[in-house]
């Protein structure tokens, strides 16, 4: 039997949910494990950076990276793993499209830091200290990674072979992806693994409940009202992003009576998820009066950015640029 394929996992700016997702694979993982040898997985096993550096280039078969890139350390690690891996996979929304951390791109670094170290209500920082890369306390010198001006999706830092969407990717999606990878004919580079090619409505049980034509006089907020459970959330007025979001999750949220927030990102061909989302949402507003339209938006879609770019701001056309070596 040939030597096992080497596999690595790494996390950048993420909540850890994606790591959980990997663990959740349970027996599925075993089947991976006996196919493969895990050479790097900081969250679960004790490896050091040196272990990776010691590997030959492209020695790792697959590396799964979750989380977005915001610090110099994350950038270094991602570049390093890229070098050592044959296949690099952006795992989960953050790695794929920037994810929730990516929303930070609607603030400058300075705004963020001064809020967390100065202006925030709960901040106590009398001598106004800020973390800096070379940080000296008494006669100790600390090296902490640099906090970049913005958040990057992994493919804005290094070349990515495949994407696995989801916050976090569901067990089914991960399984499909892995099957796809080890299947006879490997999918074309850059493709999104394990998910559907259509948007969520195609697999949503509530799609049936839609009327022929959809118009909305107002938008509801899920945190302010309770949707009926057996009726399409969009037609109830909740900005459900199912229509613009890649399917594959089997409408988990909707089944839980919660509108889709778009973690699977856009379907192929859509350049900017958020722009598409507002395009379809605004199109079905049922008013031709400017004032009234303004009102509908202000009441139901205030801070639209957070609604439509919840997982993909760094991949929005405006922000979709490759990182310069070592940050911006």
Q: Would you tell me which residues interact with other proteins (CB under 8 A)? A: 72, 105-106, 108-109, 133, 146, 148-150, 197-202, 207, 210-215, 242-244, 247, 266-272, 274-285, 287-288, 290, 293-294, 297, 301, 303-306, 308-309, 313, 316-321, 324, 326-328
| Beta carbon nearer to other proteins, 197 or 225 | 197
* Residue 271 Cβ vs other proteins, minimum distance, rounded to whole Å: 5
Cβ-based nearer residue to other proteins, 39 or 216? 216
Q: What's the full length of the chain, in residues?
A: 328
Nearest distance, CB of residue 32 and other proteins, angstroms: 31
- C-beta of residue 89 within 8 angstroms of C-beta of residue 169: no
* CB 36 to other proteins: min, Å: 33
Q: Between residues 89 and 151, which has the closer beta carbon with respect to other proteins?
A: 151
Whichever of 122 and 303 has its CB closer to other proteins, that residue is 303
Record the tokens describing residue 55, joined without a space.
């590997």
Residue among 160 and 204 whose Cβ is closer to other proteins: 204
Neighbouring residues of 276: CB distance < 8 A, sequence distance ≥ 6: 244, 266, 270
Q: Which of 199, 221, 201 is nearest to 210 (CA)?
A: 201
DSSP string computed for 248-291 = -STTHHHHTT-----TT-PPTT-S-HHHHHHHHHHHTB----HH
Structure tokens, 75 = 């950038």
Residue 113 CB neighbours (<10 A): 15
Shortest spacing between CB 156 and other proteins, in angstroms = 9
Q: At its nearest, how many Å lie between other proteins and the CB of residue 116? A: 17
């Amino acid at each position: 039997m040939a030597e096992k394929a080497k596999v690595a996992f790494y996390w950048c700016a993420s909540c850890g949910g994606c790591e959980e997702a990997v663990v959740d694979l349970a027996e599925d993982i075993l089947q991976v494990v006996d196919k493969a040898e895990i050479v790097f997985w900081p969250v679960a096993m004790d490896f050091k950076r040196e272990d990776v550096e010691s590997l030959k280039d492209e020695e790792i078969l697959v590396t799964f990276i979750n989380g977005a890139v915001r610090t110099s350390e994350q950038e270094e690690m991602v570049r390093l793993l890229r070098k050592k891996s044959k296949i690099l996979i952006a795992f989960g929304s953050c790695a794929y499209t920037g994810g929730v951390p990516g929303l930070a791109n609607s603030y400058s670094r300075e705004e963020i830091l001064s809020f967390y170290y100065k202006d925030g209500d709960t901040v106590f920082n009398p001598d106004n200290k800020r973390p800096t890369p070379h940080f000296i306390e008494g006669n100790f010198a600390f090296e902490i990674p640099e906090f970049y001006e913005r958040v990057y999706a992994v493919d804005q830092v290094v070349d990515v072979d495949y994407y696995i969407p989801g916050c976090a990717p569901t067990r089914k999606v991960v399984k499909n992806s892995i099957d796809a990878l080890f299947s006879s004919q490997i999918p074309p580079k850059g493709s999104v693994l394990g998910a559907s090619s259509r948007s969520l409505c195609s697999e949503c049980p509530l799609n049936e409940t839609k009327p022929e034509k959809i118009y909305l006089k107002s938008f509801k907020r899920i945190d302010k009202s309770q949707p009926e459970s057996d009726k399409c959330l969009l037609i109830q007025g909740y900005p459900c992003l199912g229509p613009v979001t890649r399917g594959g999750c089997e409408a988990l949220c909707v089944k839980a009576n919660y509108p889709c927030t778009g973690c699977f990102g856009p379907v192929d061909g859509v350049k900017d998820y958020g722009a598409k989302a507002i395009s379809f949402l605004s199109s079905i507003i049922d008013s031709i009066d400017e004032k009234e339209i303004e009102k509908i938006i202000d009441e139901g879609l205030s801070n639209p950015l957070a609604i439509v770019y919840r997982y993909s701001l760094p991949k929005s056309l405006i922000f979709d640029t490759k990182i310069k070596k070592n940050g911006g």
